[in-house]
Homo-oligomer: A and B are copies of this chain.
Amino acid sequence: MIGAPQYLLTLYIAEREDGEETPISPGYVADALDRSPPAATERLQNLDAKGLVRYEPYEGATLTDEGRDAAEELYDTYRILSRFCRDVLGVDDHEDEAMQLVGNVSPTVAERLAATLLRGGDNRGEATEAAESASQPSPDSPAS
């Protein structure tokens, strides 16, 4: 299931690309989150009612200050998760994975995960690579 975090995050990410002023269409959100257009519309209207989003019919959604604050925090967590999945675990679709997780990870875990990333630098262990090649062999490595 998909919750408010995913919608806020989608808006936030789109906003980074198109600018803060550009309203994001329901169609775009629906597409990004794999939902029907009506579902996206209603959800955005709902976030509007909660004061997290400003929704203009037939225009689209923009984040309110409050919504952007919330989204920023989610985005931090999202980035941490995504980078962890990519750099440490070597997961291909790290962004999808992070999007899935972002609502369920506590602030504490996010924070310490970030610390782990900083500490660990770029060393991906060979155990991870071994696991990776077991499921999808890379052209260069000898498949045991």
Contacts and interface: CB of A to CB of B under 8 A. Distances in A.
Interface of A: 1, 85, 88-91, 97, 100-101, 104-106, 108-109, 111-116, 118-120, 123, 125-128, 130-132, 135
A90 B112 contact: yes
B115 A91 contact: no
Nearest to A135: B108
Contact of A128 (B90, B91, B105, B115): B115
A112 B127 contact: yes
Given A101-B104, A104-B104, A120-B125, A130 B115 contact: yes
A135 B85 CA distance: 25
One complex includes copies of this chain to the number of 2
A95 to B, nearest CB: 13
13 contacts: A1-B1, A89-B108, A90-B112, A97-B106, A101-B101, A104-B104, A111-B135, A112-B125, A112-B128, A112-B131, A115-B125, A118-B127, A120-B123
A5 to B, nearest CB: 12
A15 B43 CA distance: 41
A91 B112 contact: yes
Contacts of A91: 106, 108-109, 112
